[in-house]
Chains A and B, each alone.
Chain A
Amino acid sequence: MSVFEVEGLRVGYGKLEIIHGVSFKVEKNELFVIVGPNGSGKSTLLKGLFGLASIKGGKILFNGEDITKLPAHERSKKGLAYHPQLNNTFENLTVRENILLAGYFLDRDELERRLENVLEFLPEIRGFMDRKVRTLSGGERQMVAFAMNMIKEPNTIMFDEPTAALSPKMADLIFDRILKLKTEYGLTVVLVEQNAKKALELGDRAMLLVTGTIKFLGPAEELLKHEDLASMYLGLRG
């Protein structure tokens, strides 16, 4: 059974439709990459999948269950996690409070157990657990947002440009951990990324989205090698 089965999905805001009837599947334990030029609707598609943008039509099955009309918090309870590009932490709270907030529905013992697991996966944040998030760098904030999702122990996680505006070193660290989610933790990952080359190198399958429609859907390696599409839409040259 596929993790996501999306049929004729149309997504937008208000009266504006941005995603025009896309259909695709995401398989279990797959790293599925969504790339495309600016304004192609990548982030809107993720928001639609998570229930944060209006669904204008179509159907979303998540692990076989129809979640098209479920609100975001209900989708979250199904084991789906979403890592937004911006505003992904509570800035006036400490790192510890942010992570504990993300796991507010857990009892104390379970929370402690999961916190230890998260700190093992992201040991870098141990050094600033009691600092307020607004004092952290962009990369450190992304780590905190990462940890907030990990404490929920999701089965599928969707990242919206997690390396935007990060230093190359920090971006590599984030990519490394995203890959680990798939290889070591067995999670399904949907990754929207501006750094198309790096994302396609990591990904199993890929979707090229242009003005809300699918231009390519297939193995990531194939899109990387597709000279016309890669150069026309992703700025990649042989």
Chain B
Amino acid sequence: MVDVNILLDALVYSNMLALLSLSLTLTIMTLKVANFAHGDLAIVGVYGAYTLMVVMGVATYLTLPVAFLFGGVYALLCYVLIYSPMRRRGASFVMLMIASMAIDIATRSLIQIYADLMKFHLKVYSRAFIFNDVMLNILGVEVRGIVVFSTLSVAVLLSLLYILLMKTKFGIAMRAAIENPPLAEVLGINVERVYAISWFLAGGFAGVAGFFLPFRIPTSPDLGFIILLPIFAASILGGINSLPGAVIGGYVVGISEILGTYLLSQPPINMSTAYRPAIPFAILILTLLLLPRGIASIWSRGD
């Protein structure tokens, strides 16, 4: 029997992966290139929130919108200053991908410098830091705050994104600009502006996911690169171009990773938990071999 705490941890981790996979997919749909700096957006978000906590003494969970803002603004800057000008000048798929790798390295280096500045000027742990959680009493049951707040965040953000995409004029323009950018432009839609806002939203979602990291594991500037593998596995499992697929992919990969690691570490297998990255890696490979268009192909089949 699996411990309930393991199940709750799987839920929290999956909530984070769903947001990260969804936001990565949104950037891929607009830029048509995999963004290798996506994990760093989560770390930018969490460092933004952490700074506010330290400097202003704001309660941990109240800094969640700041994580959204930091992740969003950083993603927007990456798009407006680097990706968009490169694309306008005819940069190829490979050039844009290499640019995203360069942004990843540069971002991690900048966060390292920022971590040093935090340490020297604010006198706080700026690497391998964790956030203390609160316990909430829900109908007489004690539940960790991260379980409630991460689940609520996913529910609220997904609902808002659904309303935005399906019920608003901007959302219609966004769907049009993603499916056929030249035609959207012909119809009078400012595709560049739509893409820039999409990147802001994607960065914001990643920032929110990043905010929950220090509740689970010690957080450092390089963590964004380490979490990249499960994010890509979830997005590819979801079908790479499907937002609902990305969310489902996030939950499948997240639950498989946590429960799989737990079960395989039990007797008689006793496998080391160090093999944990093998699970998203196996999902990624199996998806590419058996279902190259991801789980989204299941519901788009026969249209």
A binding-site residues for B, Cβ under 8 Å: 14, 50, 52, 71-73, 76-77, 82, 84, 87-93, 100-102, 104-105, 132, 134, 148, 152
User: Can you pick out 8 interface pairs between chain A and chain B where the beta carbons lie within 8 Å of each other?
Assistant: A52-B186, A84-B186, A87-B183, A90-B176, A90-B179, A101-B172, A101-B173, A101-B176
Q: Which residues from chain B contact A105 at a C-beta distance below 8 Å? A: 169, 188
Q: Which residues from chain A contact B189 at a C-beta distance below 8 Å? A: 73, 104
Q: Are B187 and A76 within 8 A (Cβ)?
A: yes
Within the complex, what minimum Cβ distance (angstroms) separates A70 from chain B? 12
Assuming the contacts A101-B172, A104-B172, asked whether A50 and B186 have C-beta atoms less than 8 A apart, the reply is yes
Q: Are A90 and B183 within 8 A (Cβ)?
A: yes
Docked Cα-Cα span, A216 to B173, in Å, equals 41
Interface residue? B90 (CB, 8 A): yes
Q: Are B180 and A102 within 8 A (Cβ)?
A: no
Interface residue? B303 (CB, 8 A): yes
Interface residue? B85 (CB, 8 A): no
Q: Are B183 and A88 within 8 A (Cβ)?
A: yes
Total of A-B residue pairs, C-beta within 8 Å: 58
Interface string of B211-225 (1 = CB under 8 A from A): 000000000000000
The majority secondary structure among interface residues of chain B is helix
Q: Are B191 and A73 within 8 A (Cβ)?
A: yes
Please name 10 further chain A to chain B contacts, defined as beta carbons within 8 Å, in addition to the given A77-B188, A88-B186, A152-B187, sorted by A numbering.
A14-B90, A52-B186, A73-B185, A87-B183, A101-B175, A101-B176, A104-B173, A105-B169, A148-B187, A152-B188
Interface residue? B277 (CB, 8 A): no
Within the complex, what minimum Cβ distance (angstroms) separates A54 from chain B? 10
Task: Output the nearest chain B residue to A103 by Cβ-Cβ distance.
Answer: B187
Question: Which of A52, A102, A148 is close to B185, meaning CB atoms less than 8 Å apart?
Answer: A52
Q: Are B187 and A102 within 8 A (Cβ)?
A: yes
Q: Which residues from chain B contact A73 at a C-beta distance below 8 Å? A: 185, 187-191
Q: Which residues from chain B contact A50 at a C-beta distance below 8 Å? A: 186
A-B complex: 7 closest residue pairs judged by Cβ atoms: A76-B188, A72-B185, A73-B188, A104-B172, A73-B190, A104-B169, A102-B187
Assuming the contacts A90-B176, A132-B303, asked whether A101 and B182 have C-beta atoms less than 8 A apart, the reply is no
A50, A77, A105, most chain B CB atoms within 10 A: A105
Docked Cα-Cα span, A117 to B183, in Å, equals 22
Docked Cα-Cα span, A105 to B182, in Å, equals 17
Docked Cα-Cα span, A104 to B186, in Å, equals 13
A89, A101, A134, A152, most chain B CB atoms within 10 A: A101
Q: Which residues from chain A contact B180 at a C-beta distance below 8 Å? A: 87, 90
Docked Cα-Cα span, A76 to B190, in Å, equals 10
Q: Which residues from chain B contact A102 at a C-beta distance below 8 Å? A: 187
Q: Are A72 and B169 within 8 A (Cβ)?
A: no
Within the complex, what minimum Cβ distance (angstroms) separates A110 from chain B? 13
Interface string of B164-208 (1 = CB under 8 A from A): 000001001101100110110111111100000000000000000
Docked Cα-Cα span, A89 to B90, in Å, equals 24
Q: Are A101 and B186 within 8 A (Cβ)?
A: no
Q: Which residues from chain A contact B303 at a C-beta distance below 8 Å? A: 92, 132, 134
